[in-house]
A and B are shown apart, each in its own frame.
Chain A
């Protein structure tokens, strides 16, 4: 099997797994316990906090462990909104955010907050001037994803940071897709908050963190025994946290070698897939995650494409409505200007460290055949025809 869906999830790195295993059966202490077993767990959590902080150039005290990206994004957005609701009720985000950001914003809109959803251009980039003119006195938060999970477009976070710093608003970024793939520096980007998920970086599922800059006040989502500085109560997921810390360390250490290799492989895939007729690239040609390629193939539908690729041993994903629970095509592809019928025929390939040259060659052999097979079945060959 060739796995090319690393933006969905990744396998746990063997070294990470080995690092975690003692924390299930032997070192199972509750970090709040006074005895040595508890203190051993506490120490392990603090070591993981140091590892995570180092990668993003933060202070360990600014790292708050959570259950992952969705919780971190909810925590950042709701946490600031509730803490700062007397300062203002305006939030700025973009039209291409992950559902966990968009649906949190929609939920807040029902509770009296006002949200501006910034447009993006055909490559998925926001316009800094747009952001600037959307900032108001009562804007309390700007939340913009660093690298988009579907089309891989990378926003200029330093520019965004500079712009937001001129205002009263806090800046949050979802860095779930970019950490360990791109340099991420909370100081250079002037971030107040940043979300990370462990299972996207060869760590275990169910763990992640929110970075909260010192001095930024958030209301907690979960109240209880006062864990994580009183901001995220609940007994810590010790094995998960230590695995996450180790995955961050390994990912960042390997980044300088791994990413150029994967980018080269991705470029080879991009160059060759784009030779298929009626096919184009979604997202920015250069400002994109080194592991991401996203294509649209006209006249076919993405779920069929993904299932036929799966039958040939290649795991990928699509922004087609037919593969989603909502039966709506990807809001990201629509936001960059694709027509619904074009959004249905999309394919996302996201590489990871296990992918080889041989995998890319096999994909390039199989994909054109599968596309052609589906197009032969399709009533459309040159255009979408006319419909009553």
Chain B
């Protein structure tokens, strides 16, 4: 087997292991609750019958390892249990919202990735110029603003003053794709601004790092044209760090949607997680936390795998 495949398989194995440990952590976290979960949540006035029913519902009457196996078994079959708040199956609650969150994240990625790579490369090529400084200033201030500040400024400008876009992104399955896209313009723009700032800075740093390496200087000294140096020498080596930057930011996006979804009342996973935490609806929190973690770990894994595959140094046999 080639060393490349071994390396990739190792990473995948590590990802699966991480996910498994996270599932144990999520499960044990609830176990470690001081006192009894049932009484904690139902309050002191709960009758013994309600407490008993609640314990049965959460399978608290079983020993911990049996409960963990039952929970994990349910997960693999797509059965996530029932919500405590309204008794509906969690899979039903999550399915549609997860698709919505992915829709928002994907739309943002389509806009943000090309812009930030383009700006990052430009800033790196013309570094320390006026253009580079302007961009650095702009991105630094965007990073310093909390996500919800950016969101409210956009609402104030584009929704309240100019009446261009809706300030509430309430989408439903009956809407056409175009209507949905129109509804998510503002959340998408907010996320784009935040992600572009991070991604652009990291792209710039990665490219500058490559441009200052000895082999690029060598190429210049050989008298090659600037365009050839950038395309043939710098680009293949820059691909791996840039892919890494993109994937890491997509992973960041998955968690970053939480706040933006709350601001724009967008029916996604983030909104669901925050609501369930407020209601202390533990099974929903566990399930959605695990889904967030799985997405995050998968994206980080993809980042690793792609950067291994695209790195000329790792691809070549030692």
Chains A and B are bound partners: no
**A residues near B, CB below 8 A?**
none
**B residues near A, CB below 8 A?**
none
